[in-house]
Amino acid sequence: MWVISSIRKWADSIHFGIFVPLVLLISLVWIVSVGASVYNIERRITESLDDQLSQAAYFVWLRAEQAREQNFRGIEDLPKRTQRAYGNLSSFAFQVWDGTNLLTKSDTAPENRMAGRPGSSNGQLDGSRWRFYYRIDWVGGLDVIVGARNSLSQDAAILLAVYSMGPMAVGLILIFGLSYWAIWHGIKHLRHVAGEIKKRSPSDMQPIDASKAPSEVQAITSALNRFFGKLDVAIEGERRFTADASHELRTPLAAIETFTEVLRRAKSEEDQANAVAKIKQSIDRSRRVIDQLLILARLDPDETSQTLEEVDLRPIVERELQEIASQAFAKNIDLELEAEAVQPIQGDPGCLSIMIRNLLDNAARYAPENGTVMASLSNSGRGIELAVSDSGHGIPEDEKDNVWNRFYRVQGTKAEGAGLGLSIVSKIAELHGAKLILENGSRLRGLCVRVLFPTGSEMSV
């Protein structure tokens, strides 16, 4: 069973897939080469035999013509004289015909014509393969047919095949052995890569070193290293998500637990209502944190780049303004939109909606009561500009670089939030190759966030 299992395992390997077809191809070439050599030798021997038969036919005809000039005296000695001259030919035979009359023949020749057409031809005589040459005398009428057993060419070809097979078989064995070793040596780098991966711990995402490997193996290791990098980013994202969720949900969950106890001990309806409101507030905050963390976790550059399409920003801005209308109404905030006719950009509609929603949501949270939130779209020399402004207090200059970090909140702020909105905006802007600019008091009194989208060939994700 172990032997069968090993053979099956080898049959499924790259080694087998290269070695076996190579062996079959070399064997086929060897067989064709031997066959071609045998055929060529047999043809050359046959050509040499034809030359000898042609000379023998002329010799016989010349002696027969001389005998005819003497009224065919001495014609009976022609077989002996011919045998002495061409006794080297294997099973030599000849016939001399005067029209339809057989004048003389060798002892090995039959009574009927050995060949039926002039020139060289193959035939059978006494169950053996013979080669014949038929010489026609168009003037005198003496026709001569000579023949010899043609087994010599076949025997020589068989001997050639037998004698050549031995050395060539040894050469083939050496070639097969060297081929097996060369293939085994060539794929050792793959075994090295497999061993490196096998002995790694699940958390080890370091690149595989394949600097000394062939270019084909380097292509595989490069793809694996890119995969490890993406996997490392994904695992790190999950760890960060878990850590962030644990950190941010601890406070609202503790508040829910506290106010649940307050609700249990409350004696008046007013205390109960306050406790329920606080619990609802904590639940809303938990839901908002989870939603935003999920958004950050799902922002995959590879998936986003595959869903890019032409997007008109104005309908998205108008829709998101309508979404925050109830939130703005609660604080009596005016919502304004200034939009020029801008060309579409290449982007992901879902991600762009999330980005614009977070910008408007942040502006509405930090704008004071009876304040203003303004969104604008315009063409600039560097692309399409989306700006969201509010009439709040803005961000101190020394804190502008920190607001892109997760869970960072400006000191002293009273607005509710998890500190994730601008992190989401920053990530989506990065995926779209957009530039972010923070300004205080450029349009309204508070913060203005400018998003500059590239257009046309400037787009790079």
**CATH number for the domain running over 307-458:** 3.30.565.10
What pLDDT shows up at residue 461? 40
Contacts of residue 15, Cβ cutoff 8 Å, sequence gap at least 6:
183, 184, 187
Q: Which CATH number fits domain 215-296: 3.20.20.80, 1.10.287.130, 1.10.3720.10, 1.10.238.10?
A: 1.10.287.130
User: Is-contact 118 101, C-beta < 8 A?
Assistant: no
- Regions of the chain where pLDDT drops below 70: 1-16, 72, 74-75, 77, 83-90, 151-158, 160-161, 164-165, 210-214, 216, 237, 240-252, 285, 288-289, 291-293, 295-307, 402, 404-420, 442, 456-461
Whole-angstrom Cα distance, residue 417 to residue 366?
10
Alpha carbon separation from 354 to 214, 319, 348 (Å, rounded)? 46, 11, 10
What pLDDT shows up at residue 135? 92
What pLDDT shows up at residue 153? 62
Q: Look at the pTM and tell me if it is higher than 0.75.
A: no
What pLDDT shows up at residue 119? 92
Whole-angstrom Cα distance, residue 192 to residue 213?
10
What pLDDT shows up at residue 457? 46
Question: What is the CATH topology of the domain spanning 2-159?
Answer: Beta-Lactamase (3.30.450)
What pLDDT shows up at residue 452? 92
Long-range contacts of 162-165 (CB under 8 A, 24+ apart): 164/34, 164/37, 165/34
Mean pLDDT for the chain overall = 77
Alpha helices in 267-412 (DSSP H): 269-298, 301-305, 313-323, 325-330, 349-366
What pLDDT shows up at residue 315? 92
Domain chopping of the chain, boundaries:
2-159, 215-296, 307-458
What are 308-346's pLDDT values in tens digits?
788 888 999 998 888 888 888 888 989 999 888 888 888
DSSP state of 205: -
